[in-house]
Amino acid sequence: MGKRKLRWLSHFQYKKGNKLHNKDCKGHDSDVQANKRPPVERLTCDTFQEMTAELWSTAFKDHLDKIPTCTGSLDWDYSREQKRGLAWITSLRCCTCGYKSPPHKLYQEISSPGPGRKAARINVALYNNSMFSAVGKNPFQAGTQVTYTLCENVTKKKRVISVFCGNKLCKVGELMRSRGESVTCPGHDNCTANIPADENIGNEKRWAGQCLDEIQQDSSPLILSQLTTDGDSTATLGASTQQGQNIENLKDLHHFFESQRKQTCKAPFSDKMFPGGTKTARESVKKRFAQDLKIRCRTEYENAYQHFGGDIPKLIRAMSYSGLTPVIVFTI
């Protein structure tokens, strides 16, 4: 081995006891620097490096066994790359002899009992992220802050009567953990976080309860009787639990009539109800019918609300006789 090669090794490696350590380009101990990374970042990086090293090691041996006389170098075969969500399948090739390594997965798979392609672990982790779905908990989701507001619907000004601001970020905690201290946010001195890192950022039940708790701190606290939310919100349950008495859950118009449209599309109509030579054509007419019915029903409601000046008892009594109007329109 030449002197230049020896100097290169002496710059990037050194011995500490009986263990050989590596140095980065700045002369720092890269093994120590790697251990300072957060656990999840270190796990992701180590997994990718392990799979990549396995790809190159296997391809080198396979290339040498099949074509021992070739002196070419291996390179990435970009033409055969496959992207599956956040995961990749790739291979290597030799430009000199034309060798191509078998496709290699740069990710870990999740075993499944049924047939079909196995899912990549990194894609399953993203799906289980509680910011996007309610499947389990992922303490390292992307959402770190939330703002939840309650507005009154009694006056025309629609004033905000309560606000909750949740935060998972804490620089002090990060600094203490980087020094090896075992701390949990929130819970230590000078912590700026007020919700845990594994808390679902879309937990409307808890945020609504926090807003009700703020309202109850007033000298003359408001008592809520109704709360308007979307169709699948659990905010009313959280507010009712915090208040200690039930709160009626009202649906906003957009989500209410959108639910009506979806239920119309699911309704088991007769095969001869909608025209069309094929099932696809009949389904298309059915969807247009559901959309038109939604618009007509909402128009009836908004016109009645404006006519009676928001008088709910009169509105309900008048709307009880308007059910035949859409039927008459569609049968003419």
Per-residue pLDDT of the chain (332 residues; tens, 9 = 90+): 444 433 333 334 444 444 444 444 445 444 444 444 444 444 455 567 888 888 899 999 999 999 989 888 898 888 888 888 888 899 999 988 989 999 998 888 887 777 778 888 877 766 655 444 444 444 445 678 889 998 888 888 888 989 999 998 899 988 888 888 888 888 888 999 988 887 878 888 888 899 998 988 888 888 888 888 887 678 888 888 888 888 888 888 888 888 889 999 998 888 888 888 888 898 999 999 999 888 888 888 888 888 888 788 888 888 877 766 666 566 54
pLDDT of residue 305: 85
pLDDT of residue 164: 92
Q: Where are the domains of the chain?
A: 21-110, 141-250, 252-332
pLDDT of residue 178: 86
Q: Whole-angstrom distance between the N-terminal and C-terminal Cα of the chain? A: 95
- Written as one string, the DSSP assignment of 168-226 is ---HHHHHHHHTT----SSSSTT----S-TTS-TT-HHHHHHHHHHHHHTSSS-----E
Q: Which residues contact 69 (CB under 8 A, 6 or more apart)?
A: none
Cα–chain center distance at 150: 24
pLDDT of residue 113: 73
As a whole number of angstroms, the distance between CA 58 and CA 70 comes to 16
b/e for 157-178, b at 16 or more Cβ within 10 A?
eeeeebebebbbebeebeebbe
pLDDT of residue 222: 83
